[in-house]
A and B are shown apart, each in its own frame.
Chain A
């Protein structure tokens, strides 16, 4: 598949690859793939595959996928892309795991959220794209999203969207109760108390216990509970940053200032629409979704603000966001890689994604003045993207997910969840979670906390 060219062309290409790697603005690790591939020839390989054509299966749950596939097929008529919604998040991961284990039935390209990527690279189900010169694409993406796909020196996917955390608040409710937009968590906690005491059917926000929410919150507080080094794993869910979040959150959880409506439920949409929830701490992808869903005709009532901080700095974390990867089982890896490259790094692919309400991870779009300054009528004319783009620039680095994060998240309700239902100390719940994680990791052959 790879057309290896010789001689001068190869040397030039190698230098080019090396330069590209050097100018990468990220904290990505060893991307010295100069010896492995030549960017010129791998680009050729991909282009050749596109010309030759073929068929691809693409598993995803993004609403923009169909439009993207159609645009791609128009540009490359020899390629047929079948978009399949094999389930949302963990549902899809289960199927993907099963297919990888069974050795057949997997798609060519699959959408995988950042937190789950490691689990798939570990089971060696994903293709290392550095051999197609993907390392050169690093500077197209934000640092944190590139971090997520760049693991163990390989590149296992391309980021599609990002979810830097922001706070959305219901201005109508804030005005009604005379609350100013909180800038620090202390203010937030005080507002929680004030709001709930003024009106016991209203809450500052909801949290029914969700690992996809707890992890980014711990991240923002400076916690780094998971440290991975090969097969050595250290888990400390009581490190300084984690405790900082847990202690602060306890102040709202225990007295009952948090609503226990589960996020994404029917009830939750209703609560957003009718003023039961005053704020949500969420990812940058949420404003577009709320606008599209328009629960209870809440147009004009909500605004977007930076997430409160512990110390006045603008630090935030990523909540959600996914990449697309090429599955090793693919019978046509070059074509799949070519499609992926188009999907997430070409202007047209990204544009189509944005048009359907996504929030980008590509620096070009994030820096585009038209994007940044767009005023959104749904949010009272606020230039929402400004807040979101600022957040994207302030995601703190150094976060790692577990190599079996999908499993860890599945036992979150069993452990930390109990603290939520009993409105007791989150720290105790986190310790229980840690214990289960350690047991599982050791049973699976890792060396955890040893």
Chain B
């Protein structure tokens, strides 16, 4: 972009770097920022390198160098087949929780955020205050009572005990609310109402498309949160067949300890790597959306 604009405005050639609209790329700054890159990547690089080592190599070679043999594919295969392929089951569970939990959370947050933004209904400010207040309450305050409540109705150790609590995303609600205020002009709603459309129909035909970047942003954050959910499943689930990947990996890691130890660190490392891949892929894929979605939301206070 910078080249064409420079030729358009010849004056700027005399003011080379500092113009805010037409900056010149700086190698110095890039190198400085490369430190950030190293910081962000170092642990992940460690993960990559160590997923190629065998169990005994893990115990005998320096962390950031490769082992004596390249065991990556063997590790991957073993990760998926260990204990009758329970890793695959954990992967499936995580997908289930994400699709239903994050999907449901996004849907609920979008509906409610839209309602808060576009309708001045009685109880609105109280509604909003209570929901945001919820963010301040520590997860542990709710964990045990939720567990005890759920066990009264026999719902612990089921996927619902994970999915239902995931359906509430207060930050998502806030994002949609803020985004909807600007991106869904009330004039459009008025016009549609004049045409005789009901509120719900307006939402599902008109409004949601305008909200799309915000929706995708909320979806993305919900997906990450549900994918990485650890504490709640840890308490709720006692049957490993329902574990998500995080809890499963933790169990494999803990297996190295105690009287009946059976260390499988190489599987923990490889499993961790596999766990990260889908989320990274989703980020890259949905990049455009979440950036513009967050933008409008964050600015307006």
Contacts of A101 in B (CB 8 A): 148
Contacts of B190 in A (CB 8 A): none
**Cα distance A273–B58 in the bound complex, in angstroms:** 11
Contacts of B265 in A (CB 8 A): 266
Contacts of B235 in A (CB 8 A): 98
B residues 37-90 touching A (CB-CB < 8 Å): 55-56, 58-60
**Cα distance A293–B238 in the bound complex, in angstroms:** 27
Contacts of A63 in B (CB 8 A): 260, 262
Closest residue on chain B to residue A359 by CB atoms: B259
Q: CB distance A295 to B59 under 8 Å?
A: yes
Contacts of B58 in A (CB 8 A): 266
Q: Say yes or no for B156: interface residue by CB 8 A criterion.
A: yes
- B261 partner, pick from A85, A289, A297, A321, beta carbons under 8 A: A289
**Cα distance A28–B56 in the bound complex, in angstroms:** 44
Give, as a whole number of angstroms, the nearest-CB distance from B243 to chain A: 10
Q: CB distance A269 to B257 under 8 Å?
A: no
Q: Say yes or no for A91: interface residue by CB 8 A criterion.
A: yes
Known: A86-B238, A98-B147, A102-B151. A270 touches B256 (CB 8 A): no
**Cα distance A89–B240 in the bound complex, in angstroms:** 15
- A358 partner, pick from B152, B156, B254, B260, beta carbons under 8 A: B260
Q: Say yes or no for A178: interface residue by CB 8 A criterion.
A: no
Contacts of B10 in A (CB 8 A): none
**Cα distance A104–B263 in the bound complex, in angstroms:** 32
Give, as a whole number of angstroms, the nearest-CB distance from A308 to chain B: 22
**Cα distance A87–B238 in the bound complex, in angstroms:** 8
Give, as a whole number of angstroms, the nearest-CB distance from B140 to chain A: 14
Give, as a whole number of angstroms, the nearest-CB distance from B153 to chain A: 10
A residues 81-105 touching B (CB-CB < 8 Å): 84-89, 91, 95, 98-99, 101-105
Q: Say yes or no for B272: interface residue by CB 8 A criterion.
A: no
Give, as a whole number of angstroms, the nearest-CB distance from A405 to chain B: 15
Closest residue on chain A to residue B58 by CB atoms: A266
Question: Can you list, as one digit per residue, whether each of B242-271 has a CB less than 8 Å from chain A (1) or not (0)?
Answer: 000000000100111111111101000000
**Cα distance A88–B239 in the bound complex, in angstroms:** 13
Q: CB distance B263 to A269 under 8 Å?
A: yes
Contacts of A295 in B (CB 8 A): 56, 59-60
Q: CB distance A264 to B261 under 8 Å?
A: yes
Interface residues on A, range: 35 or more
Give, as a whole number of angstroms, the nearest-CB distance from A188 to chain B: 24
Q: Say yes or no for A285: interface residue by CB 8 A criterion.
A: yes
Q: CB distance B60 to A61 under 8 Å?
A: no
**Cα distance A59–B251 in the bound complex, in angstroms:** 14
Q: CB distance A264 to B238 under 8 Å?
A: no
Q: CB distance A297 to B256 under 8 Å?
A: no
Q: Say yes or no for A29: interface residue by CB 8 A criterion.
A: no
Question: Can you list, as one digit per residue, whether each of B143-161 has a CB less than 8 Å from chain A (1) or not (0)?
Answer: 0000110011010110000
Contacts of B251 in A (CB 8 A): 85, 87-88, 91
Q: CB distance A293 to B261 under 8 Å?
A: yes
Closest residue on chain A to residue B154 by CB atoms: A104
- A297 partner, pick from B56, B152, B263, beta carbons under 8 A: B56
B residues 92-151 touching A (CB-CB < 8 Å): 147-148, 151
Most buried by A among B55, B240, B260: B260
- A105 partner, pick from B59, B238, B261, beta carbons under 8 A: B238
- B56 partner, pick from A98, A99, A161, A294, beta carbons under 8 A: A294
**Cα distance A102–B56 in the bound complex, in angstroms:** 42
Give, as a whole number of angstroms, the nearest-CB distance from B84 to chain A: 9
Q: CB distance A61 to B148 under 8 Å?
A: no
Question: Can you list, as one digit per residue, whether each of A102-114 has a CB less than 8 Å from chain B (1) or not (0)?
Answer: 1111000000010
Contacts of B240 in A (CB 8 A): 84-86
Q: Say yes or no for A18: interface residue by CB 8 A criterion.
A: no
Q: CB distance A270 to B151 under 8 Å?
A: no
Closest residue on chain A to residue B86 by CB atoms: A85
Contacts of B261 in A (CB 8 A): 264, 289, 293
Known: A87-B254, A102-B151, A295-B56. A95 touches B259 (CB 8 A): no
Q: CB distance B157 to A105 under 8 Å?
A: yes
Known: A85-B240, A85-B251, A87-B251. A103 touches B151 (CB 8 A): yes
Closest residue on chain B to residue A92 by CB atoms: B238
Closest residue on chain A to residue B153 by CB atoms: A104
Q: CB distance A105 to B151 under 8 Å?
A: yes
Contacts of B262 in A (CB 8 A): 63, 289, 292
Q: CB distance A61 to B255 under 8 Å?
A: yes
- B238 partner, pick from A95, A269, A294, A358, beta carbons under 8 A: A95
**Cα distance A264–B261 in the bound complex, in angstroms:** 8
**Cα distance A98–B161 in the bound complex, in angstroms:** 15
Q: CB distance B156 to A273 under 8 Å?
A: no
Q: CB distance B59 to A86 under 8 Å?
A: no
Give, as a whole number of angstroms, the nearest-CB distance from A51 to chain B: 28
Contacts of B56 in A (CB 8 A): 273, 294-297
**Cα distance A285–B255 in the bound complex, in angstroms:** 15
**Cα distance A414–B151 in the bound complex, in angstroms:** 32
Closest residue on chain A to residue B257 by CB atoms: A264
Known: A99-B238, A102-B151, A274-B60. A163 touches B263 (CB 8 A): no
- B259 partner, pick from A274, A293, A321, beta carbons under 8 A: A321
Most buried by A among B147, B157, B239, B261: B261
Give, as a whole number of angstroms, the nearest-CB distance from A215 to chain B: 14
**Cα distance A292–B264 in the bound complex, in angstroms:** 12
Give, as a whole number of angstroms, the nearest-CB distance from A291 to chain B: 12
Give 5 CB contacts A-B under 8 Å.
Answer: A87-B238, A99-B238, A105-B157, A294-B56, A295-B59
Q: Give chain B's interface residues, CB within 8 Å of chain A.
A: 55-56, 58-60, 147-148, 151-152, 154, 156-157, 235, 238-240, 251, 254-263, 265
Which 4 residue pairs across A and B have the least CB separation, nearest first?
Answer: A102-B151, A264-B257, A296-B60, A62-B260
Instruction: With A102-B148, A104-B151, A105-B151 given, name 7 new contacts (CB 8 A).
Output: A89-B257, A91-B251, A95-B238, A102-B151, A105-B156, A266-B58, A285-B260
